[in-house]
A and B are shown apart, each in its own frame.
Chain A
Amino acid sequence: MSPFPTPSRRRMLQTASCGFGSLALQGLLGRESLHAANPVPHIAPRARRVIFLFMSGGPAQLDTFDYKPQTGNTPHSGSAFKFQQHGESGLWVSELLPETAKHADKLCVLKGMHCDTGIHAQSALQLHTGDRLRDRPSLGAWVGYGLGRDNRDLPGFISLNTSRPSSYGSAFLPANYQGTPIGVNGEDMSLATLPNVTGDHLPTEAKRQQLDLIQMMNRRHQQQRSDDSQLDAVIKSMELGFRMQATAPELLDISSEPQAVLDRYRVGKNHLEGTCRASDFGRQCLLARRFAEAGVRFIEVNHGSWDQHKNHRRDLQANCRTTDAPIAALLEDLDQRGLLEDTLVVWGGEFGRPGLTPGEKDKDQTGHQSSGFTFWMAGGGVKAGFAYGDTDETGKRAVDGKIHFRDLHATIFHLLGLPANDLKFRHAGREHRLTGPEGGRVAHDIIA
């Protein structure tokens, strides 16, 4: 039987939609929705929000964070670039990321990442939703469902420069948990905004009156059709859209930032080369900081494509050059403002890449590697200046401190104070969870 009887679930969601902290979670943990036999312990949250820097295409870990000098007997390619230790922690970072390297003591580098497939679309979907094939709620939607919103005037989940709705969708979760996209991949991110967020055809008071009439009609319409959760979601989104008019325009307007800040983030600077696409990554990172400050719960920032098969060196350099300084600026600002403490920053792609073929120096080509690759986290309760896990001596596969995507999901949930494998939703006759039938393991060793 469902742990969420329909009426109580509806009530719970209604309260959650009013925003303010973890009402949904409290509902979830409340007595009526517990499995008596399997009580969920309350977990103290370490993070309040997540900034996910999604490096689409699969960044080459051997040329960025997973330093592999020739040690054993098996010849391997190692990196095409130089590595150096940084900070007090002595983390290894390659020469491609000099600015990020300055923040080495903030990073928690996860070198034992692995996943199931080297197919881009499927693996990216699995990273975002836990499932490679079917339409499932995205990580950000689950987080919203679990925690509600921190700011009732903004969406709880914003995805910048996103490629497809499945990565911010809510699938069978109520539709009001889906992410709000700003800038769809291929659009000029320097101009990307929330269309129609302002309108001066009516004064605010009149708009409120107008919306009250619309919502009165909508609620009466829905009363006749109470089974339809989409109608409910529309009512909520109308309210949210109305509220956003008061806050979002100012948040999206970065012209108030000092020039020095814009320069640090390299706002407006695109470096187009090979697979490296224009994404105005600096503006994305700056917006991410502003959204985090404003209390947006889950923010995704996208850059691609790291899928440099041919011209590996050139294209990888271009991608690193584009993202390095903005990420450093983001970490710096979050830290300075005391936000890093409860903001979990996550960096990574849908998989990694094998090294260049050893012995073929002229060959400048890599492929896909799902058996071992690197993510990093920062802030939000993870150990700082810490490297966790490892690949084998050739860097081909994760052997130590292995973290699958479902383990990553479980760990993120745990840091947010959500029960890793017990945040469930009943749909079409069975319970679903982000971590899938296998469940995810929390990587406790990385938690500070």
Chain B
Amino acid sequence: MRLLRNTAIAACLGVASPFWLSAADLVDAEQRKFFETRIRPALVEHCYECHSAGAKKVGAKLFLDSPSGMLDGGESGPSVIPGDAERSLIVHALRHENDLEMPPDKPLPQAVIDDITKWIAMGAPDPRTADATATTAKASNEKFYTDGELWSFEPIQNPTPPSVTGRSWPRDPIDQFVLAGVEKQKLSPTADAEPRVLIRRLHFDLTGLPPTADAVDTFVAAYRATGQVAVTTLVDELLASPHFGERWGRHWLDVARYAESNGNDGLSRNATFPHAWRYRDYVIDAFNRDLPYDRFLTEQIAGDLLAENATSPAERDRLLTATGFLAIGSKPAKAMNTNFEMDVVADQIDAVCTGVIGLSVACARCHDHKFDPIPTRDYYALAGLFTSTETLWGVAANVSLTAPPTELHVLKTAQAAQPPEGLDQRIDEIESRSSKNDTPLKKEFTYPPGTPLAMGVRDRQQPADCNINQKGDAKKLGDSVPRGFLTAYSADLNAGISIDPKQSGRLQLAQWLTSGEHPHTARVMANRIWLHLFGQAIVGTPDDFGVYGERPTHPELLDHLASRFSGDCQWSMKKMIRAIVLSRTYQLASQGDETTLAADPENRWLSRHLRRRLDAESLRDAMLSVTGQLDPAPADGSAVRHFDVLVNHAGNLHEASDHRSIYLCQLRNSPPPELAAFDLPAALNVTGKRDQTVLPTQALFLLNSEFATAQANHFAASLNAVDTDERIEQLWRRALMRSPDDTELASARYLLETLKPREKAWSSLCQSLLATNEFRYID
């Protein structure tokens, strides 16, 4: 932008009021919201390119990216006179009055100018802290969504289902919302899925396991006779299965960045978490008992505080274990890291905010969030809850350079599991690179072998507010910020929740998140549920409901689901899932006609179902299941339950197992080899949506891996029909739940007759079926 030239106007402008710099503290929520949704985006989009710390060339020494910058002004003097828009230079410039015209090429839309005028008249309340300016601004050229308020902060509506032309089509209000969108695009929904397709889809979606061929036949007959009655019966059976929790628990473990080791701490050390699996089991159990989502969250954030009033010792153990959620994050090494404690807090804030409300608050650790309405003060208000909390991760393989040792929750009712003969509870003893052997563990951190322990958190003896760490540096302390929550929400949400100064405030955080008025909690979870049932979400970025996240494809449907979830369903995840899978939309076929495919290749409008690949766990579980090898019982503990060691020292810690994949040992940077090829999350951050790659290494897993070949051998050995054709029939029915057609039968026979060595022919044929797309994809 050109220099500001109008010194005449500048000369007549007044000087800033002295109270200005403290004004950030006085900005109330409404004003903050106005600033964040109307003013900041406009400044960033239209002005920062030339008037910010990040500008390539700063115009007229004027900085508009901080309160002081706006107030002190540039070469032409102060740009803003709080409370007096008519005397504010920026308003004159924006109106293209006199010869000062900004932006120089074209005036801004009148609405934007009006907003800025209104904002100055309000006293120019500016929540940006002075800190923000000191950091290099990166916001030039940012594209903002200025087409309205940030949608996700708006209260959840309970919209009336729209009327549709195809009146007989919808089965549930969900279908009305979807059909209205489809009709608006001048498309029409595809056919209903065939019952054999539907039962397979339901089995995998609700339990992560395939149905047997007999179950398919039974269901097909029932569906033909009774239609949706049969579907409802099936759905209720599957929801009641203990495998439901193993499937949906795994989805939540992705969000909870669950792992059983710390992952590389930056010094290549990767300490196991021998007790993390108890949190895994807690999650599975929570889904199976249909713990309402609000309670589920509260237990994970503040279970230790509820445990004091637990009704039984077992309940106490369960609640303490729930707080593992806050303790299983990946930490950078403690060595030389003065910010270590705040790094732990950062992980906890990220898990809660990104996981529960879909907002990344992490940037605000160092500066006001550039795009979302999260000022640094808010970050430290939240941080105070966690600095008032003691995190119990254990002894980190007794390498204090990776993390200082902590106690753990001692469980009262869980069974003690003694290490096997000849194996002491192993604690790593290594010579670190920079010091001699770590000192032996202090007594307070050691427990008799086999003691049932759980990771988690508890309140510190003396909770306290947290000081702002300037630019995220724990050694540069700024103001202390009273503990609290995010201020970008309407004042009502924060009213009435006050933090007991003698507690950390985590319980109140949980209350705040689950009050039902919170605009994000229900939307984010409803969206996550939808994602797992449709393969794509209504908000395509399930972990980001902020400015940079995608906009919902079906905003009304999302609000309908969210209000139904916290309302009629009373936060029951099973009820929410049940409602969705019984909708007609869910039960559509995955084939579409040419027109629809051309008009909507990504299936944005849901006129069909999306074909999906089995994820890593479902693929392995399905293979075990059809070969007859699956041990359907929950696994007891974990391969590392007796190993408090560094994964990088220990070599392979994984053990072969026939239990479901969720029970395999989930070490960071060392994933289970049976799953690693298929896009497991790295578990460093919240992962709402996994990547989905197609790689030759996946082919190699299916063709060569020890697991695949072993399953093929088991499969072959389990086929017991005498006649070759009958055996082929048996194989097809078990793997693909159908009979082979003539071509397939001929090809199979040919393979069996010609493949050498002959004794490998059957296992080779079995392995082939497990590698087909028909086996690996759900229609």
Contact = CB atoms under 8 A, between A and B. Distances in A.
B700 A195 contact: yes
A202 interface: yes
Contacts of B748: 213
Contacts of B601: 227, 427-428
Interface in B174-199: none
A402 to B, nearest CB: 10
Interface string A115-142: 0111100100000000001000000000
Interface string A182-211: 001011100000111111011101110111
B190 to A, nearest CB: 11
B709 A199 contact: yes
Given A195-B673, A277-B266, A221 B772 contact: yes
Interface residues of B, number: 68
Nearest to B264: A186
B651 to A, nearest CB: 11
B95 to A, nearest CB: 30
A203 B591 CA distance: 39
A371 B136 CA distance: 11
B703 interface: yes
Contacts of B6: none
Given A201-B760, A207-B703, A217-B772, A237 B138 contact: no
Nearest to B699: A241
Contacts of B757: 203, 206
Contacts of B699: 234, 237-242
Interface string B738-779: 000001100110010011110010001101110111101101
B5 interface: no
A394 interface: no
Contacts of A205: 756
A206 B764 contact: yes
A48 interface: no
Contacts, number: 174
B64 to A, nearest CB: 18
B306 interface: no
Contact of A209 (B754, B774, B779): B754
Contacts of A202: 760, 764
Given A195-B701, A217-B744, A277-B266, A118 B138 contact: yes
Interface residues of A, number: 70
A165 interface: yes
B691 to A, nearest CB: 5
B141 interface: yes
Between A241, A368, A369, the greatest number of chain B beta carbons within 10 A of the residue's beta carbon is seen for A241
Given A210-B767, A231-B777, A197 B263 contact: no
B136 A367 contact: yes
Interface in A222-245: 222, 224-225, 227-228, 230-231, 233-235, 237-242, 244-245
B56 A397 contact: yes
Contacts of A133: 548
A370 interface: yes
Contacts of A231: 611, 773, 777
Interface in B540-558: 548
Nearest to A187: B669
Contacts of A199: 703-705, 709
A218 B669 contact: no
Interface in A153-176: 155, 165, 169, 175-176
Given A195-B677, A214-B768, A238-B771, A178 B693 contact: yes
A287 B719 CA distance: 45
A140 to B, nearest CB: 13
Nearest to B777: A231
A228 B602 contact: no
A18 to B, nearest CB: 15
A196 B705 contact: yes
B182 to A, nearest CB: 17
Interface in B662-720: 668-670, 673, 676-677, 679, 682, 691, 693-705, 709
Given A176-B694, A196-B703, A234 B773 contact: yes
B267 interface: yes
B39 to A, nearest CB: 22
Contacts of A227: 591-592, 597, 601
A246 interface: no
B744 A225 contact: no
B425 interface: no
Given A199-B705, A237-B698, A210 B613 contact: no
A241 B691 contact: no
A374 interface: no
A198 B700 CA distance: 8
A195 B694 contact: no
Contact of B696 (A187, A206, A244): A244
Given A165-B691, A213-B765, A231-B777, A196 B704 contact: yes
A251 interface: no
Majority secondary structure, A binding face: mixed
Contacts of A116: 138, 140-141
A216 interface: yes
B768 A213 contact: yes
Contacts of A284: none
Interface string A353-385: 000000000000001111100000000000000
A222 B703 contact: no
Interface string B416-452: 0000000000000000010000000000000000000
Given A217-B744, A397-B56, A230 B695 contact: no
Contacts of A224: 591
B22 interface: no
Given A209-B754, A237-B695, A221 B773 contact: yes
B570 interface: no
Contacts of A201: 704, 709, 760
A197 B704 contact: yes
A169 B591 CA distance: 26
A169 B747 contact: no
A207 B756 CA distance: 10
B693 A175 contact: yes
B138 A370 contact: yes
Contacts of A188: 648
A214 B774 CA distance: 10
B694 A178 contact: yes
Contact of A119 (B138, B433, B698, B767): B138
Contact of A217 (B268, B677, B768): B768
A94 interface: no
B623 to A, nearest CB: 15
A180 interface: yes
A278 interface: yes
Given A186-B264, A237-B695, A198 B704 contact: yes
A277 B332 CA distance: 13
A241 B768 contact: no
B54 interface: yes
A43 interface: no
Contacts of A206: 755-757, 760, 764
Contact of A278 (B136, B268, B755): B268
Interface in A1-38: 6
A272 interface: yes
Between A178, A213, A216, A244, the greatest number of chain B beta carbons within 10 A of the residue's beta carbon is seen for A213
B597 to A, nearest CB: 5
B611 A225 contact: yes
A348 to B, nearest CB: 19
Given A186-B668, A238-B771, 5 more contacts: A175-B693, A194-B700, A196-B700, A218-B773, A428-B601
21 contacts: A116-B140, A118-B54, A133-B548, A165-B679, A165-B693, A169-B693, A180-B696, A195-B705, A196-B703, A197-B704, A202-B760, A203-B756, A206-B760, A210-B751, A213-B748, A228-B611, A231-B777, A234-B773, A239-B699, A244-B700, A272-B268
What are the 7 tightest A-B residue pairs by CB atom distance, in nearest-first order? A241-B699, A199-B704, A241-B696, A175-B694, A196-B700, A196-B704, A186-B669
